């Protein structure tokens, strides 16, 4: 069984913001897999499917970003999913727009949602897809920036990048090795 988590904030006002990259990526993945987020569970919404006989759970925590770990730990514990079968997709301020970076493990960095997950699961040893949102000459503070809507000029770039992030999630669910997924998707997408 696999768990793919997309991080974001649930209110409509956050729908197209920089901080909702994870939600947008798992929405694309759900569409690609032909499933819907139609079940409320684990302080979030869930979509379920089977790929190659293996159950796959897609999760969007509705705890708001800073408490994402509450939702994730509930899902992990309920399904008894080992951390090596979990992938988290989220935005990253240190990566250029148009790029994704996939890692097998690592620190949470400055991302509060990831910090909470690392704290609640007591480990940094799980896969992640980081979607670049690094500001280019933006004078706003970090909070204002990450909660701002995607600029019209960047919409096409983000659509392409989020599609690639979703494809990486699908490869993960299909059991492809992280090394293979990293070779294929790490770096500048557009």
Catalogue the active-site residues: 19
Work out the burial of residue 180: count CB atoms within 10 Å of its CB; fewer than 13 is exposed, 13-18 middle, 19 or more buried: exposed
Which of 56, 34, 37 is CA-nearest to residue 46? 37
Residue pointed to by tokens 């993960």: 172
Q: What is the dihedral of CA 64, 58, 159, 127, to 10 degrees?
A: 90
Do the beta carbons of residue 98 and residue 183 sit within 8 Å? no
User: CA 47, CA 58: separation in Å to the nearest integer?
Assistant: 5
User: CA 134, CA 97: separation in Å to the nearest integer?
Assistant: 6
Q: What is the dihedral of CA 181, 189, 153, 156, to 10 degrees?
A: -60
User: CA 3, CA 79: separation in Å to the nearest integer?
Assistant: 9
């Amino acid at each position: 069984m696999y768990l793919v988590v997309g991080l974001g904030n649930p209110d409509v006002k956050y729908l197209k913001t920089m901080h909702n990259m994870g939600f947008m990526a798992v929405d694309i993945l759900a569409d690609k897999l032909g499933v819907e987020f139609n079940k409320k569970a684990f302080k979030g919404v869930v979509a379920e499917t089977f790929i190659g006989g293996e159950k796959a759970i897609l999760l969007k925590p509705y705890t708001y970003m800073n408490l994402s770990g509450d939702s994730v730990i509930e899902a992990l514990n309920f399904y008894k999913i080992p951390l090596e079968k979990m992938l988290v997709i989220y935005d990253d301020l240190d990566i250029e727009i148009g790029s994704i970076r996939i890692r097998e493990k690592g620190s949470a960095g400055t991302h509060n949602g990831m910090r909470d997950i690392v704290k609640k699961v007591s480990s940094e040893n799980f896969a992640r897809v980081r979607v670049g949102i690094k500001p280019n000459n933006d004078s706003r503070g970090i909070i204002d920036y990450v909660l701002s809507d995607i600029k019209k000029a960047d919409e096409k770039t983000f659509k392409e990048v989020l599609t690639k992030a979703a494809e990486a999630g699908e490869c993960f669910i299909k059991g492809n090795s992280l090394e293979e997924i990293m070779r294929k998707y790490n770096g500048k997408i557009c």
